[in-house]
């Protein structure tokens, strides 16, 4: 009986390549948001993505928030779950006004940033990046007052 020997990459190289790949994927999420918003700078786009991820997560039930988190790529998932205590956010965050307020607050109340436009762009990124089956599940779990932000 012969033994098949599989050559492994040197320790750390495979992990480093995987990490680099995940960084590229996370940057694509930021780039997509930049494109939908027609923004030119990455830093505010990153902050806007992080804010939208947290605001949306806090609108969902615990189970739905976890379901969405599992569907996200690893680095985006880490951003999404950052600071989460495992429950829903305040009831006000689940209203349209509360959601938009949370977005506006998260981007430093910058008068040049329209929270409504940011919300539409964020949901467009979800549609663009997640598998259709996940989009359908998360769309169904979205509070009714936020349904208008999903692209048609």
Label residue 17 by pLDDT band (50, 70, 90): confident
Inside any domain, residue 58: yes
Picking from 110, 116, 125, the residue whose alpha carbon sits closest to that of residue 145 is 116
Inside any domain, residue 139: yes
Inside any domain, residue 114: yes
Residue 29, pLDDT score: 98
pLDDT tens by residue, 71-103: 999 999 999 999 998 876 666 677 999 999 999
Picking from 15, 40, 19, the residue whose alpha carbon sits closest to that of residue 30 is 40
Q: What is the CATH number of the domain that holds 73?
A: 1.10.490.110
Inside any domain, residue 41: no
d(CA 9, CA 76): 26
| Residue 106 CB contacts under 8 Å (≥ 6 apart), including other chains | 47, 48, 50, 51, 52, 54, 55
Count of domains forming the chain: 1
Inside any domain, residue 11: no
Inside any domain, residue 4: no
Inside any domain, residue 3: no
Domain residue limits at 130 = 51-149
> Side-chain half-sphere of 143: how many Cα atoms within 13 Å?
21
Inside any domain, residue 66: yes
CB < 8 Å & 24+ apart, contacts of 43-49? 44/107, 44/110, 44/113, 47/106, 47/107, 47/108, 48/103, 48/106, 48/107, 48/113, 48/118, 48/122, 49/79, 49/122, 49/125
pLDDT tens by residue, 101-138: 999 999 999 999 999 999 999 999 999 999 999 999 99
pTM: 0.87
d(CA 57, CA 41): 25
């Amino acid at each position: 009986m012969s033994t098949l020997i599989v050559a492994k990459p040197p320790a750390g190289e495979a992990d480093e390549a995987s990490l680099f790949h995940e960084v590229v994927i996370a940057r694509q999420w930021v780039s997509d948001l930049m494109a939908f918003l027609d923004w030119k700078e990455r830093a505010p786009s990153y902050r806007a993505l992080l804010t939208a991820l947290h605001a949306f997560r806090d609108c969902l039930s615990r189970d739905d928030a976890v379901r969405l988190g599992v569907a996200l790529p690893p680095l985006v998932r880490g951003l999404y779950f950052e600071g989460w205590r495992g429950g829903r956010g305040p009831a006000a965050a689940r209203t349209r006004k509360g959601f938009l307020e949370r977005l506006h607050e998260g981007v430093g109340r910058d008068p040049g940033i329209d929270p409504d436009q940011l919300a539409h762009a964020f949901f467009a990124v979800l549609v663009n990046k997640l598998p259709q089956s996940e989009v359908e599940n998360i769309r169904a779990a979205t509070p009714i007052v936020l349904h208008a932000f999903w692209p048609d």
